[in-house]
Amino acid sequence: MTSLPHAAPESTPAIGTSVSADDFKRAFRGHPGGIAVITAYGENGPVALTASSVSSVSADPPLLIFSVSALSSATPTIVAADTIVVHLLDAEDIGLARTASTSGLDRFADTSTWSRLPTGEPVYHGVRAWLRCKIVSRMDAGGSTVIAAQALQVDVERDLEPGEPGAALVYHNRTWHRLGEHSRLD
């Protein structure tokens, strides 16, 4: 079997060129993402940030990926950590999503909402689900770092049966949304 040479369409930009940051943001504004809060513990204490980039990669081994922006004050601690906690949120967790996404706010001021696991990582109480993960890979990508992590421990507070609508929290077009039965398409 022989393969034919690949010819790029004439509309394809030349290598080294790319779309503008504004055009890229405009394209992704219509692409919703699930909401998670990533926590880690470092030299200066606990850190947290809200992410819409968490995706499962593999069930066996249990791997996930996410990215963190260099603009976040939590990023250096998360990138340096050996282990982190990924909190997978639903609409009941909107308060935590907002807190962890607000710059300059002490995300750990209310000590009744979180504790440290026996292994040291900060974990928020009552979220839909969380996974304690070991970071297995880091890759610089533009102004962000893409992190791959293996789940070591999981706690699911609010489980869903297959096909059940739940109350997923997503970020779409700069706004929080709740998915549920009303948004289901068959």
CA 117 to the chain's CA centroid: 20
Segments of the chain with pLDDT less than 50: 1-9, 12-13
User: Which structural domains are found in the chain, ordered by start?
Assistant: 33-181 (2.30.110.10)
pTM: 0.86
Which amino acid appears at position 36 of this protein?
A
- In the chain, alpha helices (H): 21-29, 75-80, 94-101
pLDDT at 179: 84
Token output for 3: 């393969």
pLDDT, position 2: 46
Per-residue pLDDT reduced to its tens digit, 137-151: 999 998 999 999 999
Identify the pLDDT of residue 9. Answer: 47
